[in-house]
Amino acid sequence: MNRVNLELVGVGGQGILTSSQVIGGAALEKGLDVYMSEVHGMAQRGGVVVTTVKLGDEVYSPLVGRGEADVVLGFEPVETYRAIEQASEGTWVVTNTEPIVPFTVSVGSEDYPSIEDEIIPSLEDSTEKLITLNAQSLAEEAGAAITQNIVLIGALTGLKVLPLEKEEIKDSVKDKVPEKFLEMNMEAFEKGYNRTKEVRK
Amino acid sequence: MEELLEDDPGKETLLLGNEAIVRGALEAGIGHGSTYPGTPSSEIGNTFEKIAKDYGMYFEYSANEKVAMETAAAAAASGVRSMAWMKHVGVNVASDALMTLMYVGVRAGMVVVAAGDPSMHSSQNEQDTRFYSQLGNIPMLEPTTPQEAKEVIKRAFDISEELEIPVLVRTTTRVNHARGVVEFSELKEPDGDGHFEKNPQRFVSVPQVSKKNHPRLVEQMEKAEPISERSSFTEVFSHEEPELHVISSGAGFNYIMEAKEEHDLPISILKLGMTNPLPEERIKDYIADADRLLVVEELEPFLEEKVKAIAKDVNPELEIYGKKSGHLSNIYEFDPDRIKEAVSDLLEVEYEEDHLKAEEYDLPSRPPSLCPGCPHRGTYYAVKEALDGEEAVYSSDIGCYTLGVQDPLNTADFLICMGSSVGAAGGFSKNTDQQVFAFLGDSTFFHSGLSGLVSGHYNQHDFVYVIMDNRTTAMTGHQPHPGTGKTGMGDPAPVASIEDLAEGAGIEFVETVDPYDIEKTVDVFERAIEHDGISVVVPKHPCALMEQRAVNWAPYQVDQEECKQCHVCTNNFGCIALVREGDKITINETLCVGCGQCAQVCPFDAIEQEGEG
């Protein structure tokens, strides 16, 4: 089996670590080799968070080289853009369109680009394999904005790039989220799943 | 975490490198663990904190790394297997203890974990801690993966016990914070029932004893040589007709191994598991018939220089590449791309750049920042208000509050290490006419701020010493410390009072204030500035991340009719929940925690709470 490389990018506090552990946990359960890199420490205070998940028969390093991601899963549109060199022509780029404006912009030292007029069109220019979704509104529809990481896990699953079945990933989500929010998270998962499934038909 | 206590040999699970290190220690029967938290080693302590009691061992957060080293040393001298772990710069703090501990040695196994941070993801420097192994004559192992980290820890305990000296295990961020599949072996019962058998001729480091201990240490290191030669962590990954030989250790090995396997490169690799002492015979055998050798190691040319010396004897014609040849750098961590570029140059194969490129925008940076509700923000704002435009030098320290360096607060001007705020503030106050502030947190105060306070008062320095007490060690993940009333084992503890310590040192101006009350805080600082000598101000309010677990305050909002768009809130206070679009200010309700600090900052009372929490 070939190896699958995932790059998850976003902002500290978006549930990116949990997301990568959902995928890693499902892969372990299936008996695959898994190697991941995580971010702990200062960057979690609202900084850029990049985690990787590599799955396969044998995985040698925890980092993904430029152009070698099979999927770039972006939790924030500017961060997706920043990570674009991790993707090549064959890479699926899935991005949340809901921005998180850094404080450097609020205090007037920097500008935040327009998502609609600049970021998304530029992403569309550089790849045909772009899927956009507003994970935050889908999460709110499912019950709470906090489930947006699970919306994105659902979207990743719908791509059918992972060597894992939908049910296997859902089981892993169940292991990672609190019991009382399970239903909400399952609905969030389906919303993301359906968004990419229709593209992949 | 309870999973780590399962005695289920053969079980495979996904562990963070730091969790694998803990499991390794449990499989070695650790009886004592001590640390001061520091990234990337922090999760080792966080994990022990959860399981130490159930396992039956002793674990403590010491006030600093030196104390952690000393308590672990006494445990091992008493026959109890012990481990002390810390980040790379923590080893500097503990090094005074470690250097002479090597002379007196230990009786049960003692392992020191030094977690390096190439690329400085969470650190003030990226020093290569491996050089301590040479400075102190310390046997050293370098694991490459979480699985290997677990095995290396176990082996390090055995080596330490055999040689009766501590063993250093050196990791880096991509081992500590990598997560991989780890297979459990048998769990061992924790060491206990220590007894210290006196032997002053060995354990009391007066000159006549040390004169005997140093030759003993050198002898023990000679005994370590065959151990290194036999180490199963040292391994050759051969190729039938290699065009390039590689010697590597640590996290850097993973990338060269990946390049070899996935691109089928004609290279052979010697991975070194034990890197002090080096297995010289194996290195000689490996390079004897080689033509060209690349040394792959992160940071300094630690192996490269030694391999060059070895090659002079056995293969003077060998061409050696690495840092000195410019193929690799001694700056920042490696990644698959950096290694591929170096190797493709040496193998003369085309390195294909196959990745997307997008139109270049000036993307906004996203530095880490103080959280919404962070009490440090109120403190910094109040200091500036009290100064009323007067210039001051802000001597900062290591912790969340260092983030005051960002716009718009700009309350960090000088920082070198843990505890440096206070010593440097004294130096600034004696050598300039400027108003001086020292900022440090409660945990850092107990770590290394106390001696600076006593020294500064004795030498009649003149500055405002701001001890920002948020009741925890926040940046590394909320570990308790001597001022919190809780131990690493989760037991209640006596509380050390910062105020009493300051008064005990003879400080006349000691005031505590809640920085959520901005007006009062400004007043305290105004008086502290006026005071001659060191004035100690303790802004005291729990870390917002901790407090928000217990409370649920309604968010604030901006009354657009009252707002005069003066931008004092964003330009002077700068909470990240305040959003400015054009001239309009709004509050991001998801981020706002309802602390109310910004409402006090607004000159027009335009910021109001939305209702009851």
Token pair in block for residue A62: 């925890």
Per-residue pLDDT reduced to its tens digit, B308-318: 999 999 999 99
**Cβ distance B470 to B375 under 8 Å?**
yes
State residue B451 phi and psi, 5-degree precision: -65, -35
- Quick one: CATH architecture of A4-200? 3-Layer(aba) Sandwich (3.40)
- Yes or no, beta carbons of B580 and A24 under 8 Å apart: no
- Yes or no, beta carbons of A28 and B14 under 8 Å apart: yes
Nearest chain A residue to B258, by CA: A60
Per-residue pLDDT reduced to its tens digit, B497-506: 999 999 999 9
Per-residue pLDDT reduced to its tens digit, A117-135: 999 999 999 999 999 999 9
- Yes or no, beta carbons of A111 and B364 under 8 Å apart: yes
This complex has an ipTM of 0.96
A2 reaches B (C-beta below 8 A): no
Mutation target vs B (from A2, A32, A60, A114; most B CBs, 10 A cutoff): A60
B359 reaches A (C-beta below 8 A): yes
Residue B8 has pLDDT above 90, yes or no: yes
Which of A20, A43, A102 faces B364 most closely, judged by CB atoms?
A: A102
Contact residues for A22 (Cβ-Cβ < 8 A; gap 6+): A153, A169, A172, A173, A175, A176
Q: For residue B184, which residues of chain A lie inside 8 Å, CB to CB? A: none
Q: For residue A62, which residues of chain B lie inside 8 Å, CB to CB? A: 174, 178-180, 254
Q: Are strands B32-35 and B58-61 parallel, antiparallel or unpaired?
A: parallel
Q: Are strands B244-248 and B267-271 parallel, antiparallel or unpaired?
A: parallel
Per-residue pLDDT reduced to its tens digit, B124-149: 999 999 999 999 999 999 999 999 99
Token pair in block for residue B333: 């961590």
DSSP secondary structure letters along B204-224? S--HHHHHHHHHHHHHHHHHH
Cα angle vertex B144, ends B69, B318, to 5°? 110
Query: Mean pLDDT throughout B523-545?
Result: 98
CA dist A7 and B105 (Å) reads 46
Least confident stretch, A98-112, B135-149, B535-549: A98-112
Per-residue pLDDT reduced to its tens digit, B425-450: 999 999 999 999 999 999 999 999 99
Cite the beta strand spans of B338-410 per DSSP E.
392-395
Residue A107 has pLDDT above 90, yes or no: no
Contact residues for B109 (Cβ-Cβ < 8 A; gap 6+): B28, B76, B81, B82, B156, B157, B158, B159, B160, B161, B167
Query: Mean pLDDT throughout B510-527?
Result: 98
Provide the CB-side half-sphere exposure for B563 (13 A, CA): 19
CA dist B283 and B288 (Å) reads 8
Rounded percentage of chain B residues whose pLDDT exceeds 90: 94
CA dist B150 and B23 (Å) reads 6
| Complete domains list, chain B, with CATH | 2-227 (3.40.50.970), 235-347 (3.40.50.920), 375-549 (3.40.50.970), 552-609 (3.30.70.20)
Q: For residue B358, which residues of chain A lie inside 8 Å, CB to CB? A: 81, 84, 122-123, 125-126
Residue B218 has pLDDT above 60, yes or no: yes
Token pair in block for residue B113: 């974990």
Backbone CA torsion sign across B140, B144, B150, B154: negative
Question: Where do the domains of chain A lie?
Answer: 4-200
Per-residue pLDDT reduced to its tens digit, A1-18: 579 999 999 998 899 999
CA nearest neighbour of B577 among B559, B560, B589: B589
Query: Mean pLDDT throughout A170-181?
Result: 94
B340 Cα to chain A: minimum distance (Å): 9
Q: For residue A118, which residues of chain B lie inside 8 Å, CB to CB? A: 361
- Yes or no, beta carbons of B14 and A60 under 8 Å apart: no
Token pair in block for residue A9: 């990018």
